[in-house]
């Protein structure tokens, strides 16, 4: 009651200005309160990680003339790091549009030279401010001339921190062969910075972690292909995701013709987050795969490898670690596998060439 009386005592020419200022302050207060309530509700709703499944997800089909000139199946997994180069300082390093396209062209050159048939991508931008709203997946598919793609937008939000702004990024599978079905599951995990208030505020704006599944008709044989990007925050989250993947495969009876690839973030960490020492001392969290899918193989390792031996094949040069993997079931026979020294990302792509056993 005091403020309106005070306003009435002012000269007429000041009353309008004061009322405008008052309304702006009230609007800002309401906006801040709404924002804070949203953060509280989000933290409560997602306090316990649970998978969200999307069935019959879209498949993008283009009428390109595709050449299938070899008898083997060549599969590559690549955390493309949104084509931001060999070192990421932030989540939105400032680069020109031409810089990103140059890196994408480097990826295209390797894919064409190696005659890759199926490509599993992580951290590809579909329509993000940081990459000038350029659809990296659409560009790759058009330039490759491949017919099929399927994507999961796992980070589709407006992020009001660090100048990130609009984000539409995620994982994708590109294939020369028909993708006949697309399903995916996502988790969302709370950040683990040392500052708990920062975790609380940042949580509603973090990415989801996807497990993408497609069936591919490879010469009249249906192949189950899984594209995985496990959480970087800490081992506990990666275990939750990987165990969920194994349970999902078991529950659906997908026990043949399986390919699993992606960024497992094995012994990865964000500075000031996670529990690194315990992770390094523990057995690899993904070793259950050899019990769940008997006879499964990997591009470079087997179930006898130690942590140190696994990291001898480096796919993340900055930390000299192996973060990226490609598994394939016993219905396939490996002809060769290779890591390529691309400079389009802080990760390196992993490729395996397979024969299919009938």
Q: Is it the case that residue 111 has pLDDT exceeding 80? A: yes
Torsion of CA 143, 148, 153, 158, to 10 degrees: 40
Structure-token pair, residue 29:
């207060």
Which DSSP state fits 238?
A: H
How many angstroms separate the CA atoms of 120 and 76, rounded? 6
Share of the chain above pLDDT 70, in %: 93
What pLDDT does 257 receive?
Answer: 97
Q: Is it the case that residue 3 has pLDDT exceeding 80? A: no
Q: Is it the case that residue 1 has pLDDT exceeding 70? A: no
User: What is the average per-residue pLDDT within 298-304?
Assistant: 95
User: What is the average per-residue pLDDT within 112-127?
Assistant: 97
Q: What confidence tier does 79 reach under pLDDT thresholds 50, 70, 90?
A: very high
- How long a stretch of residues is the chain? 358
Q: Is it the case that residue 119 has pLDDT exceeding 90? A: yes
What pLDDT does 274 receive?
Answer: 53
Q: What confidence tier does 59 reach under pLDDT thresholds 50, 70, 90?
A: very high
Share of the chain above pLDDT 90, in %: 68
What pLDDT does 357 receive?
Answer: 87
Q: What confidence tier does 81 reach under pLDDT thresholds 50, 70, 90?
A: very high
Residues 6+ apart with CB under 8 A from 106: 342, 343, 344
**Lowest-confidence segment of 21-35, 84-98, 135-149, 198-212 by average pLDDT:** 21-35
Alpha-carbon distances of 107 from 70, 142, 328, rounded to whole Å: 21, 13, 23
Q: Is it the case that residue 268 has pLDDT exceeding 90? A: no
Radius of gyration of the chain (CA): 24
The chain-wide mean pLDDT, for the chain, equals 90
What pLDDT does 29 receive?
Answer: 84
Look up tokens 């998978």; give the residue.
51
> Within 10 Å of residue 238's Cβ, how many Cβ atoms?
24
> Within 10 Å of residue 35's Cβ, how many Cβ atoms?
13
Q: Is it the case that residue 233 has pLDDT exceeding 60? A: yes
CA atoms within 13 A on the CB side of 320: 3
* Distance from the Cα of residue 108 to its chain's centroid: 20
Among residues 320, 322, 315, the alpha carbon closest in space to that of 339 is found at: 315
Structure-token pair, residue 203:
């949580």
What pLDDT does 241 receive?
Answer: 96
Among residues 348, 54, 80, the alpha carbon closest in space to that of 210 is found at: 54
Q: Is 352 helix (H, G, I), strand (E, B) or coil?
A: strand
What pLDDT does 172 receive?
Answer: 98
Alpha-carbon distances of 344 from 276, 325, 352, rounded to whole Å: 27, 18, 20
Which DSSP state fits 193?
A: B
User: What is the average per-residue pLDDT within 260-271?
Assistant: 88
**pTM greater than 0.85 (yes/no):** yes
Contact 201, 166 (CB under 8 A): no
**Per-residue pLDDT tens over the stretch 129-169:** 999 999 999 999 999 999 999 999 999 999 988 788 999 99
Contact 6, 15 (CB under 8 A): no
Between helix 136-144 and helix 97-114 the angle, nearest 10°, is 40
- The verdict on domain 49-356 having CATH code 2.10.109.10 is no
CB crowding 332-353: b at 16 or more within 10 Å, else e = bebeebebbebebbbbbbbbbb
User: What is the average per-residue pLDDT within 308-335?
Assistant: 95
């Amino acid at each position: 009651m005091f403020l309106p009386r005070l306003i009435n005592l002012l000269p007429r020419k000041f009353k309008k200005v004061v009322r405008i200022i008052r309304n702006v302050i009230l609007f800002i207060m309401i906006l801040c309160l709404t924002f804070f309530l949203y953060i509280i509700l989000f933290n409560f709703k997602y306090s316990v990680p649970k998978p969200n499944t999307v069935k019959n997800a879209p498949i993008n089909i283009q009428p390109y003339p595709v050449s299938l000139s070899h008898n083997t199946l060549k599969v590559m997994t690549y955390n493309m790091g949104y084509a931001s180069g060999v070192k990421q300082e932030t989540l939105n390093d400032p680069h020109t549009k031409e810089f990103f396209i140059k890196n994408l062209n480097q990826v295209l050159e390797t894919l064409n030279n190696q005659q890759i048939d199926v490509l599993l991508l992580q951290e590809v931008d579909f329509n993000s401010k940081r990459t000038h709203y350029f659809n990296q997946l659409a560009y790759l598919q058009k330039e490759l001339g491949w017919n099929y793609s399927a994507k999961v937008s796992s980070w589709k939000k407006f992020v009001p921190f660090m100048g990130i702004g609009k984000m539409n990024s995620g994982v994708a599978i590109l294939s020369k062969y028909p993708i006949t079905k697309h399903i995916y599951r996502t988790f969302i995990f709370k950040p683990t910075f040392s500052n708990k208030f920062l975790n609380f505020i940042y949580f509603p704006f973090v990415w989801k972690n996807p497990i993408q599944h497609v069936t591919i008709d490879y010469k009249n044989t249906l192949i189950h292909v899984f594209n995985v990007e496990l959480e970087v925050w800490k081992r506990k989250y990666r275990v939750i995701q990987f165990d969920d993947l194994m349970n999902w495969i078991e529950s659906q009876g997908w026990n043949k013709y399986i390919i699993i690839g992606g960024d497992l973030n094995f012994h990865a960490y964000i500075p000031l987050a996670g529990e690194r020492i315990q992770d390094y001392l523990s057995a690899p969290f993904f070793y259950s795969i050899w019990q769940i899918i008997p006879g499964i193989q990997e591009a470079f390792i087997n179930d006898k490898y130690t942590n140190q031996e696994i990291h001898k094949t480096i796919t993340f040069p900055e930390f000299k670690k192996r973060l990226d993997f490609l598994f394939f079931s016993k219905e396939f026979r490996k002809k060769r596998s290779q890591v390529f020294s691309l400079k389009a990302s802080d990760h390196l792509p992993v490729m395996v060439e397979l024969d299919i056993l009938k």
